[in-house]
Amino acid sequence: MIHPDFAREVLPVVRSVAEYQRSQLSKVSRNSIELKSLNSLVSYVDKKSEELLVESLQKILPEAGFITEEETVVNTKKEYNWIIDPLDGTTNYLHQIPVYAISVALEHRGKIIFGVVHEVGRDECFSAIRGNGAFLNGKKISVSHAEKLSDTLIATGFPYYDFDRMAAFLDLLKLCFQKTRGVRRIGSAATDLAYTAAGRFDAFFEYGLSSWDVAAGSLIVEEAGGLVTDFSGGSDFLFGGEILVVQPKIASEFTQMVRTAFLS
């Protein structure tokens, strides 16, 4: 396991990249946007942010490999691996909607052992080391304690390229509309996970995600007392493309709703 002081080395790196992103917010134009695939946007800010993260993280843990969204470094799996999304919520960023985050996780032999999600718009830094709890700007956080599904707020992400499961997704949304206080879609899965860890959302579900979207946030949720699975209740959420996180008091009922929609 890594030492708790490890975070003191990594968090300043992430904060400096957040400052860079804020400095570029008014400078990004539509001419600087590239289309990687359907509705998947990237700019020079994403790429530069990733380069800055990789350069500094290599110095902190030279033996680690990298799994990164923009592939500015060769993605190679080793015993330790950094899993990085340099700008989760790129579409928000490019449209100047202030919800976007930097997500950095460290994986060791298949388990995430460290994670940080820095939500840049509000300058909120969520972090966790496995076995040491979850924190927001240095203060310990916990998932919500709502007793009834009718008192909960649910987060999700809309499908933007994989529409084969759209009918099931809409079925689950209908159940959420009927049984909860509401549903929010803010456009950054890393932020959704961090907000669930902090008790702002009671559950979050989404499919069509990559490991860099969920690696850091999933650990933060776990360390805040939340449950993290795939839609079937298994553990294939890191590379399986789907994730469900929920606070324990509504876990049974909400998990059953997800299974009814997606697996029946």
What Cα–Cα distance (Å) separates residue 105 from each residue in 27, 145, 203, 257, 262? 28, 26, 21, 30, 28
- 1 occurs within a structural domain: no
Q: Which domain holds residue 201?
A: 149-263
- 178 occurs within a structural domain: yes
- Assigned token pair, 230: 């795939």
Are 131 and 204 contained in the same domain? Answer: no
Are 89 and 191 contained in the same domain? Answer: no
For CA atoms 140, 216, 72, 36, the dihedral sign is negative
- Assigned token pair, 256: 């059953």
- Assigned token pair, 55: 């350069």
Highest mean pLDDT, choosing among 18-27, 41-50, 180-189:
180-189
- 52 occurs within a structural domain: yes
pLDDT at 88 exceeding the cut of 90: yes
pLDDT at 219 exceeding the cut of 80: yes
Q: What is the chain's Cα-based Rg?
A: 17
251: domain CATH number is: 3.40.190.80
Q: Which positions ≥6 away from 184 have C-beta within 8 Å?
A: 153, 154, 155, 156, 201
Q: Against a cut of 0.85, is the pTM above it?
A: yes
On the CB side of 205, CA atoms within 13 Å amount to 26
pLDDT single digits (tens) 180-217: 999 999 999 999 999 999 999 999 999 999 999 999 99
